[in-house]
Amino acid sequence: MNKVTQNDLHKNAPHLRLRWLLLTILALMAVACKPAPAAAARTAKAKPASPAAPAAPQAVADPTAEEATATVAGAAGTAKPVAAKSEDDEDDEDSDNEADYWKGIQFDVHNFDEVLDYVSTYYIDATSDRKRAWVEAANFALLSLEPAVELLPESFYQGRHGSPDEEGRLDGTTAAFQCSNKALPGIVLHTLPNDDYLKAHRPVRKKGRLSNEEVLALRDKYKTRANLYNETWDKLAFDRPEFDCVMAYVTKEIKAYQAKNPPPPKVSKEAAKAAKAAAEKVAADKAAAAKEAAKTAKADGKPAAAKDADVPEAPKPQPDLNRAWLAAAQGYLYALDPHSSVIARRAWDKSTQDTQDNSFEGIGAVLTQRDDLTIIENPMEGRPAWKAGLRAGDVIHKVDGNDVAGMLLSKVVKQIRGKRNTVVTLTISRESDPEPKDYAITREHIDVKNVDGSLVKEYSGIATVKMNGFIPQSVTDLRDQITKLEKQAPGGKLTGLILDLRNNSGGLLDKAIKIADLFLAKGKIVSVKSRRRAEEVHEATPSPSDYGYPLVVLVSDGSASASEIVASALQDNQRGLVVGLRTFGKASVQTLFEPALHQDYYIKLTIARYYAPSGYTLQVVGVTPDVEAAPDIDGKVPVGFREENLNNHLVPLQGTQKSPWADSIPALDKCVKEFGKADAIAKREPKPQIHPDYQLLKAADYATCLGKLGLAQ
């Protein structure tokens, strides 16, 4: 854990009188587009933060067109897609009315300037482009207004306005922006069209799954646009004086808006509670009436009336100076890199809690969406959905009689989950039985822990342990899980272990080091280099309690940060064979600082890079698996979403290195071809109730062969 003393802070930044949190982290994120200012402030609806990153690129993070896509601010203050795939828990907060973690927290120009002081003192790159930071700070603040406005280079606007690729986003009015009674040369103030206008001008997108080539073509298009936007800004003057003019304009506009739209009178807690209870009763009565109508319609042989999928959204927070200054700080940090941000303490604590235990009450099924359909990707074995006979690939048409076609996945999830021992009725069709049928399912408590494991069926003594994040309890939880699996294994001994880090977006640096050390008797684990201190090298220490099983590390494009430290340490020391897909490629270290001016939020800054044992940084390039394994037996590898797809990411410093496992791969492949079971299991049943985890099965094949060939250590 990195630590800077109070004296060190005062010596290097005497203008700061600081209290801060000694917590060095690798950000808990992986698959993310940048947060729009509204999303960063946890508002109900986000707008694109700048024309360099319109909403459309988020839709190509997953190669399925017309999926329900949404973003929420993650634990690290960045945004992550959540709606394209979800268990039937979703989030403890109402998905349609997210908790405003910034409510009641003061954030003004003094807090903004304090953020800049931390950047000056601790940010990894002292020479980063601050002009871009001032531009994004200004635009994030402007986009918090109603109606939203933004500054654009005039040449960019003139060149792109009217282009079909803009989908109407650059329509709307423009004007010169006045600063000290003079128009800023080469810059226009653009008022964004409203949401209804943009929806009307959105083209009809292709139905079904996009090919990898189509996804890459879309990404190239948006990258070209972003590069043009940045290049045109680079030719213009914009610094603190221009930013101050913007904030003066924002202040004036907010005061005018508030004069025309005074806030509603405050009500007592008792009155608010009574109003909420009344609203909940009305909603419950409507749901009961809809369910009864569906039963009546079914009895009469008539189709039930479909519920309108276009559910009204929660009202957006009104513009105010607190949010404007917060948006400006988020914009400034976002321009530095996609992992630096300001995070409400409550949001961080909630994320940490959810990573440790994200249990919920529901039916136990993983859901996804394609086109307008909600599909069961897999029922969880032994859970209510599985017991009721639901199968992978089943289409959900209705929930308690309410039509869910075209509804956001988060809203479908909200309808399905509920208190344990209550019943939810799903109307289901499947390929082999296209006539929709009702399934009454009793909800249960579903455990979803940060660390969980099981023996792999049909592989004697091979166990898998799934880790979702690296948090304070991870090391203890991992040891406990392995001990439990050892007792369950034949003869009380495991013959191989799969450490499943797929979609593990990272966490605490020191926990990643300790977990890698559990499997290493010697060798370097990771080194950390920052601008302010000497290189830190972390070495493995031998211990009688180290695990010596044949080890496979299973990774995906969602394995990031701390996951990549563990995977590269075990790969470079030839201790664990890496199987799966190339990882995310985030090799930067962030620290949470607790500012002196307020204790309700953290300033998260990128302060260092980390390097694999072989001496190369994983930034952008990620960990290349020793054995590439596609998600399914068809061998199709999705294009994925990684660090290189994020705007403003830190650049790579060099390419990848040859894995020490390279010379052993031919023998392992030959062994797997002879003794492997994955292909046979995957082909056994064309339409199984639970779709086999092909990557996990391939990992089990290689874990078996590591033992057979004596390559465990």
Three-state DSSP at 579 gives strand
Residues 74, 79, 81, 82: is their CA dihedral positive or negative? Answer: positive
**Which DSSP category does 449 fall into?**
B
Percent share of the chain, pLDDT over 70: 79
Residue 604 CB: number of other CB atoms within 10 A? 25
Q: What is the DSSP string of 658-685?
A: --TTGGGHHHHHHHHHHH--HHHHHHH-
Whether 586 sits among the annotated catalytic residues: the reply is yes
The pLDDT mean for the chain works out to: 81
- φ/ψ of 288, rounded to 5, equals -65, -40
- Phi/psi of residue 178, nearest 5 degrees: -90, 130
Residue 391 domain-assigned?
A: no
Q: Are residues 323 and 456 in the same domain?
A: no
Q: How confident is residue 288, by pLDDT bands cut at 50, 70 and 90?
A: low
Whether residue 478 has pLDDT greater than 60: yes
- How buried is 590 (Cβ within 10 angstroms: 0-12 exposed, 13-18 middle, 19+ buried)? buried
Range name among 106-120, 266-280, 669-683 with the lowest pLDDT average: 266-280
pLDDT digits (tens, 9 = 90+) for 311-351: 444 556 688 999 999 999 999 999 999 999 999 999 988 88
Record the tokens describing residue 688, joined without a space.
């199984």
- pLDDT-derived band at 424, boundaries 50, 70, 90: very high
> What pLDDT was estimated at residue 295?
57
- The stretches of 558-653 forming alpha helices (DSSP H) are 562-572
Tokens of 354: 């959810």
Could you confirm whether 511 is annotated as catalytic?
no
Q: What percent of the chain has pLDDT over 90?
A: 57
Write down the pLDDT at residue 87: 45
**Which whole number is the average pLDDT over 189-203?**
89
Mind listing the pLDDT tens digit for each residue in 364-393? 888 888 767 898 988 887 889 989 999 888
| Cα–Cα dist 314/310, whole Å | 12
CA 291 from centroid of its chain's CA atoms: 35
Domain end, chosen from 274, 304, 338, is at: 338
Among 338, 371, 399, the domain-final residue is 338
Residue 193, domain member (yes or no): yes
Q: Which helix (H) or strand (E) holds 200?
A: helix 195-200
pLDDT band at 447 (very low <50, low <70, confident <90, very high): confident
pLDDT over 50 at 130, yes or no: yes
For position 36, what pLDDT does the model report? 31
Q: How many helices (H) and strands (E) does the chain have?
A: 20, 27
Q: Which of 78-87, 116-125, 259-268 has the highest mean pLDDT?
A: 116-125
Give the C-alpha separation, 596 to 612, whole Å.
35
Residue-level pLDDT at 294: 54
Residue 602 reports pLDDT greater than 70: yes
pLDDT of amino acid 405: 85
Q: What DSSP state is assigned to residue 83?
A: S
Q: Is the pLDDT of residue 192 over 50?
A: yes
For residue 77, pLDDT over 70 is answered with no
Identify the three-state secondary structure at position 275: helix
By the 10 Å C-beta count (0-12 exposed, 13-18 middle, 19+ buried), 268 is classed as exposed
Residue 509 and residue 262: Cα distance in Å, rounded?
47
Which residue is associated with the tokens 């620290």?
Answer: 591
Half-sphere exposure of 632 (CA within 13 A, CB side): 7
Q: Are residues 333 and 471 in the same domain?
A: no
Residue 297: phi and psi, rounded to 5, are -65, -40
Rounded CA-CA distance 498/406 in Å is: 38
pLDDT on residue 533: 86
**How many CB atoms neighbour CB 96 within 10 A?**
15
Range of the domain at 583: 451-708
How high is the pLDDT of residue 659? 92
Residue 69, pLDDT > 50, answer no
Residue 561 known to be catalytic: yes
Place of tokens 């508002």: 43
Band (pLDDT 50/70/90 cuts) for residue 679 is: very high
Distances (CA, A) of 574 to 524, 559, 611: 12, 19, 17
- Mean pLDDT value across residues 95-101: 56
* Within-domain flag for 41: yes
Tokens of 328: 């400006």
Burial class of residue 57 (count of CB atoms within 10 Å of its CB; 0-12, 13-18, 19+): buried
Domain boundary, last residue among 272, 307, 338? 338
Q: Is the pLDDT of residue 498 over 70?
A: yes
40-54, 121-135, 282-296, 554-568, range with greatest mean pLDDT: 554-568
What is the predicted pLDDT for the residue at 187?
Answer: 97
CATH number of the domain residue 493 falls in: 3.90.226.10
The answer to whether 623 touches 583, Cβ cutoff 8 Å, is yes
Residue range 645-661: mean pLDDT, rounded: 86
**C-alpha to C-alpha distance for 529 and 352, rounded to whole angstroms:** 26
Give first-to-last CA distance, the chain, whole Å.
29
Q: What is the pLDDT of residue 93?
A: 31
Selected residue with higher pLDDT from 37 and 584: 584
Backbone torsions φ then ψ of 24, nearest 5 degrees: -95, 130
Catalytic residue, from 80, 466, 586, 698: name it: 586
Residue at 277 is within a domain: no
280 three-state secondary structure: helix
β-bridge pairing 373-379 and 395-399: antiparallel
Residue count of the chain, please give it: 713
Whether residue 288 is contained in a domain is answered as no
Q: How far apart are CA 710 and CA 393, in angstroms?
A: 40
- pLDDT at position 10 is 30
* DSSP-derived secondary structure for 304-372: PPPPPS-PPPPPPPPP-HHHHHHHHHHHHHHHH-TT-EEEEHHHHHHHHHHHHB--EEE--EEEEEETT
Pairing verdict, β 85-87 and 451-455: unpaired
Say if CB 136 and CB 331 are below 8 A apart: yes
Instruction: Say how far apart CA 148 and CA 440 lie, in whole Å.
Output: 46
Q: What is the number of domains present in the chain?
A: 2
User: Is 713 part of a structural domain of the chain?
Assistant: no
Residue in 50, 340, 561, 588 annotated catalytic: 561
Q: What is the pLDDT of residue 89?
A: 37
How are beta strands 601-611 and 588-593 bridged, if at all? Answer: antiparallel
**DSSP code for 550:** -
- Are 326 and 466 in a shared domain? no
Judge whether 683 lies within some domain: yes
User: In Å, how far are 196, 329, 331, 465 from 50, measured between CA atoms?
Assistant: 19, 14, 9, 41
Both tokens assigned to 165: 């690729």
CA-CA distance, 465 to 456, in Å (whole number)? 10
Q: Is the pLDDT of residue 50 over 90?
A: no
Q: Among 99-108, 244-253, 534-543, which stretch is predicted with the lowest mean pLDDT?
A: 99-108
Task: Compute the half-sphere exposure of residue 11: CA atoms within 13 Å on the CB side of its CA.
Answer: 6
User: What are the tens digits of pLDDT across the range 431-444?
Assistant: 777 789 999 999 99
Across 200-208, average pLDDT: 74
Q: Which of 138-152, 259-273, 406-420, 699-713 has the lowest mean pLDDT?
A: 259-273
The pair of three-digit structure tokens given for residue 479, joined into one six-digit string = 């040891």
Residue linked to tokens 């001032």: 134
Active-site residue (options: 89, 394, 517, 572)? 572
Taking residue 179's Cβ as centre, other Cβ atoms within 10 Å add up to: 17
Residue 606 in domain: yes
Q: Is 15 a residue whose pLDDT tops 60?
A: no
Q: Is the pLDDT of residue 669 over 60?
A: yes
| Structural element, H or E, at residue 648 | none
The pLDDT score that the predictor gives to residue 439 is 94
pTM: 0.77
